[in-house]
Amino acid sequence: MSVISIGQAVTLGAVEGVTEFLPVSSTGHLKIAEGLMHIPVENDAVVGFSAVIQVGAIAAVLVYFRGDIVRIAGAWLRGLVHGEERHHHDYRFAWWVICATIPIVAVGLAAKPLIEGPLASLWVVAGSLVVGSGVMWAADQMGRHRRGEDDVTFKDAMLVGCSQILALLFPGFSRSGATMSTALVRDLDRVAATRLSFFLGIPALTGAGLYELKDALGTGVGAAPLAAGTVVSFVVAYASIAWLLRFVAKHSFNAFVVYRIVVGVLLLGLLGTGVLG
């Protein structure tokens, strides 16, 4: 019998799709949802399931940004063959995404027992939600929002890529929140910061999903719940991406800051009263 039912998979897929790219922590929300549904969050199959349904959200990014991805990949391939193509920003940007992914892969592999053990605690999630809110608010206030996507440099990409490690080690901090905050401190405007976060998330999250696939399929989660959760994640994430890009073009991140604090305090209350363990 699967440790996750199809109904639970649909719910978790929706949670993943809504929260993966919003700076509110998809990992934190998934852990809260799993706890409320009494799903054993420490189970290898559940950990694997959470990683695999992220692939649905990443697929939404691939579809939504397919034009940009084809353009960047094409520039990279042409640059590998023709030296004169290597001055193109898209060629350099492709290499920057590759290089910026290496740190999180290295830390993820080295610290896997710690990430899936003590740091998976809901207490860590709650604390990270609150602390990350302060970081996001400060970054939004400090940033001058004067640089666009064409102004992104190798240093920007590496700093933003490395910031993903915060969310890897402290679930609740939010990968999107960490990357967007770092980009804002680098004076990128909100739309450029959001798009950079999307592009840097593609290799990292896809790799995590594929790496965990064996656990999800082999230790208790059936194909039907996996498929349901992934499809729902894709559909909801696509809508979430479209909404977020429109939102950040006209608004600050303050709404997300307030929401994260409310969720973090609520989670602390549920843990303190024993509603969640």
Q: What is the pLDDT of residues 139-163, one digit of tens each?
A: 999 999 999 998 999 999 999 999 9
Record the tokens describing residue 133, joined without a space: 């809110």
Q: Are 101 and 203 in contact (CB under 8 A)?
A: yes
**Extended beta strands in the chain, E state:** none
Least confident of 5-9, 122-126, 173-177, 201-205: 201-205
Enumerate residues 6+ apart whose C-beta is below 8 A from 266.
none
Q: What digits encode the pLDDT tens for the residues 26-39?
A: 877 887 888 888 88
Q: Are 66 and 242 in contact (CB under 8 A)?
A: no
151-154: long-range contacts, CB 8 A cutoff, minimum separation 24 = 151/188, 151/192, 152/93, 152/96, 152/188, 152/192, 152/196, 154/92, 154/96, 154/99
The three-state secondary structure class of 147 is strand
Record the tokens describing residue 76, joined without a space: 């990279």
Q: Are 67 and 27 in contact (CB under 8 A)?
A: no
Number of residues that make up the chain = 277
How far from chain centre, in Å, is Cα 141?
22
pLDDT at 220 over 70: no
Domain ranges of the chain: 6-272
Nearest alpha-carbon partner for 50 in 32, 24, 31: 31
Q: Calculate the alpha carbon distances from 19 to 24, 54, 238, 244 in Å.
A: 6, 10, 11, 11
- Mean pLDDT across 226-237: 95
For residues 67 and 126, what is the distance between their CA atoms, to the nearest angstrom?
38
The three-state secondary structure class of 42 is coil
Indicate the pLDDT class of residue 213, thresholds 50, 70 and 90. Answer: low
Q: Are 205 and 54 in contact (CB under 8 A)?
A: yes
Record the tokens describing residue 121, joined without a space: 């605690």
Residue 188: DSSP 8-state = B
Q: Which pLDDT value is given to residue 137?
A: 96
Nearest alpha-carbon partner for 24 in 266, 276, 253, 272: 253
